[in-house]
């Protein structure tokens, strides 16, 4: 049986500010293209060399402009477009980036900038459709909502099968104020899809409940990491311990509860250092809360970190803290656990299905989270027990296994 030719569509890969999704889609693209024919189309930004990659240019807010050209198979000259595509962006963010684009001479703006982010996404999808029609493929494989318009249109135009990979949902990203346009696009795409892949049982249940999709259409494939190795030096008898929050500064990630939890912990452990690494829409609010907190001298807001900076930070972290309101998977917690860091995580997360040894609390249980962090601060032996348990629980996770499952799902539609 011939391997299916896969057309993979994604808005972002690793190297852009796209969180766990960017890392996951990069690893999937790398491993999938090694075992079956893949044509990859994405918006611009840094990405590893992957055979048959096609990039529609994008501006990314990663402190630099990165541009690529698309080389359709039947054209001699590159096609260049500029986009601002990410599943996590909004009109307010988009308008700020428009102003940056307008003042940056190295960007070649081919078309008039769309007045809203949804229109920009629609325009991007149209360019994806135009490019995709020049490429050979048997199955359309879309990652998250920014590519769903193109996926639906290509299925209707070509009659090819459509597979969706859901890394996050609008009901996760904006639990109290979802964008109904995005929600109904997600729902419509899942209705049209021949198969849906989710990153956790948690997300599968949310899809069945909030989007009314039959569970038989949905398969769960966990994210992974390249290898599980404990490369940290376990220090004993440290006087000052570090608690790390790593993620976007949004309500979805629970950052609005973080200061309250930190203050409860600080009351018992006034020397503990709290580190917040990430950017997001709540940054100004978080800065104000830190400024007015009793633990102000113990809370450090670092902002966005590149991979090297993140790894250096993990090396000195004693406790990883993920209080998400709704976390489809939680790749950052998996990365932390793989280096031997004990984790305190939300029960409303995919990674909690795997890491039974991690300490858990409901997302809105401020006292419960504080108690979990305090228990680890109090006991070096408990930190060691949790760390060893997590490492045993995640040792079977790897991208080769996960991507084999993805390939089998795609081949079976």
User: Residue 263 sits in a domain of what CATH number?
Assistant: 3.40.50.2000
In a domain, 1, yes or no: no
Helices 283-291 and 255-268: crossing angle, nearest 10°? 20
Tell me: do 48 and 184 sit in the same domain.
yes
**351 Cα distance to chain centroid:** 13
Tell me: do 374 and 403 sit in the same domain.
no
Query: With contact defined as beta carbons under 8 Å apart, do 46 and 16 qualify?
Result: yes
One-character DSSP codes across 38-94: EEEEEESS-----TTEEEE----BTTB-----B--TT-SSPB-------TT--HHHH
138: DSSP letter: S
Which tens digit of pLDDT belongs to each residue from 277-333? 998 889 999 999 999 999 999 999 998 888 889 989 999 999 999 999 999 999 999
Tell me: do 217 and 270 sit in the same domain.
no
- Percent of the chain past pLDDT 70, that is, above it, reads 77
**74 Cα distance to chain centroid:** 34
Query: With contact defined as beta carbons under 8 Å apart, do 81 and 127 qualify?
Result: yes
Predicted TM-score (pTM) of the model is 0.83
Q: The tokens 């359309």 sit on which residue? A: 140
The number of distinct structural domains making up the chain is 2
Which tens digit of pLDDT belongs to each residue from 62-79? 222 222 233 232 333 333
Phi (first) and psi of residue 83, to 5 degrees: -140, 165
Assign residue 144 a region (left: φ > 0; alpha: ψ between -120 and 50; beta: otherwise).
left
Is residue 23 very low, low, confident or very high in pLDDT (cuts 50, 70, 90)?
confident
Tell me: do 274 and 192 sit in the same domain.
no
Phi (first) and psi of residue 247, to 5 degrees: 165, 180
Residue of 105, 144, 104 lying closest to 124 (CA atoms): 144
In this prediction, residues 96-119 reach a mean pLDDT of 46
Tell me: do 132 and 250 sit in the same domain.
no
16: DSSP letter: B
Q: Answer yes or no: is pLDDT of 104 > 60.
A: no
Helices (H), 196-293: 201-210, 255-268, 283-291
Tell me: do 189 and 295 sit in the same domain.
no
Tell me: do 265 and 209 sit in the same domain.
no
Query: With contact defined as beta carbons under 8 Å apart, do 162 and 155 qualify?
Result: yes
Q: Answer yes or no: is pLDDT of 58 > 80.
A: no
Which tens digit of pLDDT belongs to each residue from 156-195? 999 999 999 999 999 988 777 788 888 999 999 999 999 9
Residue of 257, 392, 374, 227 lying closest to 322 (CA atoms): 257
Residue of 240, 219, 220, 316 lying closest to 277 (CA atoms): 316
Q: In terms of pLDDT, which residue wins out, 78 or 411?
A: 411
Is residue 235 very low, low, confident or very high in pLDDT (cuts 50, 70, 90)?
low
In a domain, 230, yes or no: no
Sheet containing strand 273-277, edge to edge, reads 299-303, 273-277, 242-246, 319-322, 343-346, 359-361
Tell me: do 121 and 160 sit in the same domain.
yes
* Measured distance between the N- and C-terminal CA atoms of the chain, rounded to whole angstroms: 14
In a domain, 68, yes or no: yes
Q: In terms of pLDDT, which residue wins out, 107 or 342?
A: 342
In a domain, 75, yes or no: yes
Is residue 413 very low, low, confident or very high in pLDDT (cuts 50, 70, 90)?
very high
Q: Which structural domain, as residue segments, surrounds residue 386?
A: 242-394
Q: Answer yes or no: is pLDDT of 34 > 70.
A: yes
Phi (first) and psi of residue 53, to 5 degrees: -95, 140
Task: Please provide the average confidence, as pLDDT, over all residues in the chain.
Answer: 82
Q: What's the CA gap between 218 and 206, in Å, rounded?
A: 11
In a domain, 137, yes or no: yes
Query: With contact defined as beta carbons under 8 Å apart, do 220 and 207 qualify?
Result: no
Tell me: do 131 and 205 sit in the same domain.
yes
Tell me: do 286 and 146 sit in the same domain.
no
Q: Answer yes or no: is pLDDT of 80 > 90.
A: no
Tell me: do 212 and 72 sit in the same domain.
yes
Tell me: do 206 and 249 sit in the same domain.
no
pLDDT value at position 82?
Answer: 40
In a domain, 262, yes or no: yes
In a domain, 231, yes or no: no
In a domain, 278, yes or no: yes
The dihedral through the CA atoms of 42, 46, 48, 51 has a sign that is positive
Q: Answer yes or no: is pLDDT of 107 > 60.
A: no
Q: The tokens 């769960």 sit on which residue? A: 220
Which tens digit of pLDDT belongs to each residue from 357-396? 999 999 999 999 999 999 999 999 999 999 999 999 999 9
Residue of 246, 171, 178 lying closest to 206 (CA atoms): 171
Rounded to whole angstroms, the maximal C-alpha distance in the chain is: 67
Residue of 268, 267, 259, 296 lying closest to 378 (CA atoms): 268
């Amino acid at each position: 049986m011939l391997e299916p030719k896969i057309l993979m569509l994604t808005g972002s890969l690793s190297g852009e500010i796209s969180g766990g999704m960017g890392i996951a889609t990069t690893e999937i693209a790398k491993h999938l293209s090694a075992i079956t024919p893949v044509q990859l189309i994405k918006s611009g930004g840094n990405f590893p060399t992957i055979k048959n990659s096609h990039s529609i240019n994008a501006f990314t807010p990663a402190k630099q402009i990165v541009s690529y050209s698309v080389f359709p198979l039947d054209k001699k000259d590159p096609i260049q477009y500029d986009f601002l595509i990410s599943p996590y962006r909004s009109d307010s963010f988009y308008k700020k980036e428009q102003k940056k684009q307008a003042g940056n001479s190295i960007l070649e703006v081919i078309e008039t900038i769309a007045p809203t982010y949804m229109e920009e996404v629609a325009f991007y999808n149209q360019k994806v459709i135009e490019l995709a029609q020049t490429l050979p493929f048997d199955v359309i494989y879309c990652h998250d909502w920014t590519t769903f318009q193109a996926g639906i249109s290509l299925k209707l135009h070509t009659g090819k099968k459509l597979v969706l990979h859901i890394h996050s949902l609008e009901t996760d990203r904006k639990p109290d104020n979802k964008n109904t346009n995005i929600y109904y696009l997600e729902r419509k795409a899942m209705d049209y899809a021949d198969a849906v892949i989710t990153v956790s049982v948690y997300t599968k249940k949310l899809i069945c409940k909030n989007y009314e999709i039959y569970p038989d259409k949905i398969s769960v494939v966990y994210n992974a990491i390249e290898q599980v190795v404990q490369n940290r030096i376990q220090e004993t008898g440290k006087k000052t311990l570090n608690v790390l929050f790593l993620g976007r500064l949004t309500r979805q990630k629970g950052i609005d509860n973080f200061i309250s939890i930190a203050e409860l912990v600080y009351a018992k452990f006034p020397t503990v250092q709290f580190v917040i690494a990430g950017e997001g829409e709540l940054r100004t609010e978080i800065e104000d809360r830190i400024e007015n907190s009793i633990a102000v001298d113990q809370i450090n807001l670092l902002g966005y970190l590149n991979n090297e900076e993140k790894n250096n930070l993990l090396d000195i972290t004693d406790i990883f803290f993920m209080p998400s309101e709704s976390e489809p998977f939680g790749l950052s917690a998996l990365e932390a656990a793989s280096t031997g860091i004990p984790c305190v995580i939300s029960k409303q997360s995919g990674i909690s299905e795997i890491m039974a040894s991690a300490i858990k609390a409901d997302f809105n249980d401020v006292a419960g989270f504080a108690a979990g962090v305090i228990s680890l601060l109090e006991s070096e032996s408990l930190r060691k027990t949790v760390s060893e348990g997590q490492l045993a629980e995640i040792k079977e996770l790897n991208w080769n296994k996960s991507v084999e499952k993805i390939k089998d799902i795609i081949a079976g539609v």
